[in-house]
Amino acid sequence: MDKVFRSVAIISKKNQEVIPYLKKVIDVLQQEECLFYVEPYFYDQLQINQKYLIAEEDSEVYLVLGGDGTFLSVVFRAIQKNLPVAGINLGALGFLTELKKEQLAENIRLLIAGKLPHSLRKILELKLNNNFYFALNDVVVHSTDIARIVKISFSVDNKEKIELKGDGIIIATPTGSTAYSLSAGGPIVAPEVNAILITPICPHSLTFRPLVVPDNVTVSLKLIHNHENIAITIDGQNLIKLNEPDKIEVRIASRRLKMFLSPDINYYQLIKEKLSWGI
């Protein structure tokens, strides 16, 4: 088989449940004479031909075994290195890890041959003071205390400051519209739509509804009062404490994340299946 990718970084959680799938992945990659990275934690539990092992930084594509959380854990690295990501779903929902474990060997062969469909997903660029971060799904401002409200002002392109009192606020991409934003009452937005979602979390006003804005704007946020335990969370992975003077700006980044998709299901079938519509 002709190969587009000759080296793969395998990323998974460190638990025993993933071992049988790791063995299958490594068997296929070794059969195809493909180099791969796997965490040293697994070395003693897998039959690995040492000649195929490489460092993570030498890989050409990420292969995630797990759920959407595991997928999100590699997003920042993938964006920084400009590497694509494929996900085999071993979790519950799997909006990001689309590939089915039942077709594991077939999908890996399609992946390294460059024959899987893909999507270029827009990502958020978060500027916090003078530091930059990236998010595929969302950035969330929230309290780290139990039952404490957050008071935030936000604006779109500095046109009108809007004050929000509630449990927090979510700024999401269309890809992230099926994540935390959906749980907070936000709309489902197809990944191809050029939009940013602004979703309040339990607002103290019944008329404060989710807002969808164009993706060429900048959303600016600022704390109104200096509560000690306010933080911003990036893709549910990184938590950064905030202070009242902090300047927060969120926009669509110029970079894109290349995600591989299932060859057997389209986006609307995925939503129907994962959200049990019509059942």
How would residue 239 be classed by pLDDT, with cut points 50, 70 and 90?
very high
Mean pLDDT of the region 238-259: 94
Please, which residues bridge with residue 36 across strands? 8, 53
| CATH 3.40.50.10330 segments of the chain | 7-117+261-274
- CATH fold of 7-117+261-274, please? Rossmann fold (3.40.50)
The residue among 93 and 241 whose pLDDT is bigger is 241
Q: At the topology level of CATH, where does 123-255 sit?
A: Tumour Suppressor Smad4 (2.60.200)
Residue-wise pLDDT for 202-235, tens only, equals 999 989 999 999 999 999 999 987 667 899 999 9
Active site (catalytic) residues: 68
In this prediction, residue 93 carries a pLDDT of 74
What CA–CA distance (Å, rounded) separates 118 from 100? 15
pLDDT digits (tens, 9 = 90+) for 166-215: 999 999 999 999 999 999 999 999 999 999 999 999 999 989 999 999 99
| C-alpha to C-alpha distances, 217 to 127, 193, 195, 273, nearest whole angstrom | 14, 14, 9, 33
**Structure confidence by residue, pLDDT tens digits, 125-134:** 999 999 999 9
Dihedral sign for Cα 194, 77, 94, 64, please: positive
User: d(Cα 115, Cα 108) in Å, to the nearest integer?
Assistant: 10
If phi > 0 it is left, if psi is from -120 to 50 it is alpha, else beta; for residue 216 that is: alpha
Q: CATH 2.60.200.30 occupies which residues in the chain?
A: 123-255
pLDDT, average across residues 97-117: 95
pTM of the shown model: 0.93
